[in-house]
Structure formats: structure tokens, C-alpha cells
Structure 1
């Protein structure tokens, strides 16, 4: 009896890590896509170590898509890839991405193309990693489930006995590598609700509220240690001591003056930025009117 089996690649990818700059670049390319294009397709660059693909960079690849086929601009892809290698040789081809919810019908053809490109590029660039398969990343930019869905896939072979039938996409774990500031931007990006961003004063107020909450937590911890309710931690105590030592020793009046001066400087920068933006808008309209006349 023939048995239907899945055969993963010889050097399987365990998981993938995505840097936020790649995600924001994909979203930007989707916003700037041609009117007739339904989605964006592009190349993923990064590194591979211990079965983990770290996706660090990307670029969009022009394509024409019909109901039953997809035609990539291969020459553009190869020229862009060689240009990236000249700037950063350590970031190599690790896969490709497309916008949309999940894997589409033409994904297998595109994936086969990148498998061949990966084999050709690894002959001279990364001999030690030439068996690592490309990763397919999908980004749901239309918020099908109410928020942006980001998934990573690898291809596994489907065989019946000794005969290879087809390849199937299998989802792999995906880790978003973000610092706190990038996480805030991503949380705003992935929501469908269109809320205005906080202005400077609102942002400062929110920051001060978080600071008060952290100070209150530190005060409660120190009080619990002094009263014997919590065992002391030398690392936390050293961190609190270094934090207190870093605070400038100045009178409340001097601190208020420095703080107010900083606020005034920020407001002046905001005003100058708005003024420059208005001047550029007027200059653009005058230039357009002059060309029409």
C-alpha cells in the first residue's frame, strides 16, 4: 500500500525572526503600489543561524499578475540583489514576501523561482547554508480578521511512495524583534481603528503618568524590603541606586527652569517645521500654476 508522506527539507528552518523595518517597508510599498496591482511581492534579505532565519531587509519586485499566472521582473530582482550585496554582503537572500491573507494560488510558482535563485546565489556566497530553504512571509494589509496578520511558511514535499506529488506550505513560528518604541508603532499600525496620534502635550502627559506608576512601584518595593515582607534583591537594589545617582542634584526652581526651557525649544521646533511645510506647499502650488500658464 502506498503511503502519503511529508518530507521536510534536509536542513529545516525551525523558526523566523522579523525585524520591524521589514514590516514597515512592506506596508509602505503596499500603500505606494500601482493602482492596478492587488498585492505587493518582494524579496527578503537576512541571515540564517541554527535553523533560524533572521529577516532584516527587503525590497519590492515589480510583477504582472493575471488569473492563472504571475510574471516577476527577474532582471530588476537580480540587479537589486547584487546592489544590496555590495552594501551589506552579510544580508543574503532568505525568501520572499507577499501581501494578502495566507498563501494564494500562484505562491507555489513564485516559491519555486526563489528556490532556484537561492541555489544559484549560494554557490559563491554562503556555501555552508546552501541547503536552507527560502521562507515565504505573508502580511495581511487589508485586515481580514480585524488586525494585521503576519505569518511565515516553508515548503515541504508531499510524496506518494517513491513519487513526488507536490509541495505544500507549512507555517513556522515567527518572532517579531522589536524594541519598546517600535512595538508602540506596530500596535498602532495593526489596528483597524483610525485614531489620531497623540500630540506633544498628550504624549508628554502619558509619559509622565507611566513615570509616576513606575516610581510608585519602586517605592512599594523598597518599603516591602525595609518592612521584611519581600526578600531583597541585590541586582534591583544596585539598579535603583544607579538610577538615583544619575538624577541631577538641583533645586526645584532650577529644575523647573531647565524643564520649561526644553519645552519651549520643542515648541519652537514644531512651529518652524509647520512653517517650512506651509512654505513648501505654497511653492509647489505656485510651480504647478506656472507650468499650467
Structure 2
């Protein structure tokens, strides 16, 4: 497919796209980063298909993705369309409620070739979302943006493909947040163990509790105007806590900690046994 001479314009959201939001499952980001790491040596970026659904309020819920092989040159882009359709059929067999909602690419923003790829996905689904993920994680942050395309024309003459940015809703639970923070750190010594991960979560929880304490004290002292929405959230959080006496709570924590240590111990024994069995098997095969 040859890249057309169509100009690519990039603007902020307009009134037509202001109500659109792309809700992205964190697993989609992890999958895109994994595909980028496994890309061919000559490829500068990876692209692929986004799967999900459109919610009643117009939010595009992106829940799944898969990479599509492609080749890019100075004047053309080639997609493996047959591979795309094969992967789509396979995904629909597992998740028939999902459908194509757009496509993704790694890198910052849109490029000239993005307009041509977007035209292909526009034939697959109406008004597809283009998701871009900065896998370089510059400054320790991953830039994730979403766009939709609006055709600009003068009378019957098409002028340009205008890419307009829409808000991205990327919500994570604490376990996913820990993994995403590690992913943003481009060089790590090792992955945290279960105990280390629990320690990070406890430190974050303590920090959040301190922030809530400070906010409540500021409201009581009159330094901050009260917010009913925040008060309701604090009330619901406190009401959700189980009513346990300190001895029972301490016993519960200790029991869970002992279970975690037991799992670590059993996994260590299993690794040792597998290593011994492999060495014994190797020694038995020697002449």
C-alpha cells in the first residue's frame, strides 16, 4: 500500500469528540510492550489490532489486542491482512462479545503512514480509535494517547485526515500499578518477590492513610473547604473495614504472612528437587 499525499493534521479535541473516551485495560499496555520487545530486529515499531466494545455512554472499552506483522518503507506500508483476519477469528472464538475497536502503534503521536493504516481499519470498523504507546518510557513515564480521525474536505474535495486526541482512562488495581511502575523503569536488578511487593503496597497504603488524615484535620481546622464527595468516599472506605479487635487482626496478618513464607519455602524445595533430578538424569546418561 503506497502512502498517499494526504496531509496529517493533529489538533486538540473538538466538540464532536469531546464526549469520546478510550478506556484501556492495563493488560493491553503490557501486551503492546511485550510485542515491542519481541519485534524483528529491523522493525522500528509494532502495530496491531485493538479489541473490545463500545459502552452505552460512548466510551470505547479496549480489553484485548494482538500484533499485526507489517513492513514500512519511505513511501509505502504493507500489512499482513491475512494474518490479521486469522487472529481475529481466533480471538472471536474465545471472546465472541469482543469486536475491533481500533489499532495501536508504538511511538509518540501519529505519522504520515498512520493515516493509511487508519484508512484500512476504517473499513473494518466505523470510527476506529488509534492508540499510541511510547515504549521508550522517556523520563520514567509512558506516554499513552488515543486519537480518532475526522476527514476534512472542501466541497467534494478531500483535504486532509485530521487526528484529534481523546481522553484515555487507564485505571489499575494496586498489583497492576506495581507491575506498571516496574515496566516504566527501563533497567531493574530483579523483579520484586511476594514479600517485597507486599511491602511496597503497605507503604503506599500508609501514605494514602496519612493523606486522608491530613485532609480530615485540615477540614476540621477550617483550612480546607469540606467536599461531600470525598466525605462519602472516606465513609464508605471506613464502613467496608471488618470490625476486628487488635489481637484478632494481628493473628490474621501473621497467619497470612506464614502462608506466604510457606509457599516460598515449598517453591524453593521444588526448584531444588528439579535441579537434583536434572543432574542425576545427566549423570546417568554419561558413558
Does TM-score exceed 0.5, indicating one fold?
yes
Query: In the alignment, is residue 92 of structure 1 matched against residue 92 of structure 2?
Result: no
Structure 1 residues 164-183: aligned runs within 5 Å: 164-183=158-177
Q: Spell out, residue by residue over 1:62-106, the C-alpha distance to the aligned partner (whole angstroms, 9 max, x if none).
A: 223333222211111112212222332321111101111221231
Post-superposition CA distance 1:144-189 (Å, at most 9, x none)? 4552111111112132343112313222222213233323332332
Q: After superposition, what is the alpha-carbon deviation per residue over 1:104-123, rounded to whole angstroms, capped at 9, x for unaligned?
A: 231122111111122xxxxx
Shift of 1:44: 0.5
Instruction: Look up the match of 1:54.
Output: 61
Structure 2 distance, partners of 1:286, 1:62, is 44
- Residue 37 of structure 1, CA deviation: 2.2
Output one character per residue of 1:181-224: Cα deviation in whole Å (capped at 9) or x when no partner.
Answer: 323332332344636554444444455555666399679969x9
**Which position in structure 1 is the counterpart of 2:32?**
26
Any conservation in 2 of the 1:33–1:40 contact (CA below 8 Å)? Answer: yes
Give 2:86's match in structure 1, choosing from 79, 100, 111: 79
Deviations 1:7-59 (A, max 9, x none): x99x8572211111111111111122222322211100111234321111111
Q: For each residue in 1:250-292, what CA deviation from the matched residue of structure 2 results, as whole angstroms up to 9, or x when unmatched?
A: 8x3x7656544433332221133244456667888999999xx
Using the alignment, how far apart are the partners of 2:137 and 2:177 within structure 1? 18
Evaluate the alpha carbon distance shift between residue 208 and residue 104 of structure 1 in structure 2; reply closer, same or farther with a 3 A threshold: closer
Inter-partner Cα distance in structure 1 for 2:182 and 2:45? 22
Is 1:14 matched with 2:47? no
Residue 49 of structure 2: aligned partner: 43
5 Å matches for 1:1-293?
Answer: 14-49=20-55, 50-118=57-125, 132-144=126-138, 146-192=140-186, 194=188, 196-209=190-203, 214=209, 239=236, 242=239, 246-249=242-245, 252=247, 259-277=253-271
For residues 28 and 220 of structure 1, the distance between their equivalents in structure 2, rounded to whole angstroms, comes to: 40
Equivalent residues of 1:17, 1:176 under 8 A apart: yes
| Structure 1, 72-81 or 30-39: larger mean CA deviation | 30-39
User: Normalized against structure 2, the TM-score is what?
Assistant: 0.72
Where does structure 1 lack aligned partners over 5 or more consecutive residues? 1-5, 119-131
Work out the number of aligned pairs and report it: 267
| Residues 238/160 of structure 1: CA separation in 2 closer, same or farther (3 Å cut) | closer
RMSD: 4.2
Please report the TM-score for the alignment, with normalisation by the length of structure 1: 0.71
Q: Distance in 1 between matches of 2:281 and 2:94?
A: 37
Q: Report if the CA contact (8 A) 2:178-2:197 is conserved.
A: no
Query: Cα–Cα, structure 1 residues 146 and 265, in superposed 2: closer, same or farther, change >3 Å?
Result: closer
Cα 1:280–1:77 change in 2 (3 A) is farther
Distance (whole Å) between structure 2 residues aligned to residue 278 and residue 65 of structure 1: 48
Give the 3-state SS of the residue equivalent to 1:89 in structure 2: coil
Q: 1: CA distance between counterparts of 2:264 and 2:164?
A: 49
**Which residue number in structure 2 is paired with residue 123 of structure 1?**
none
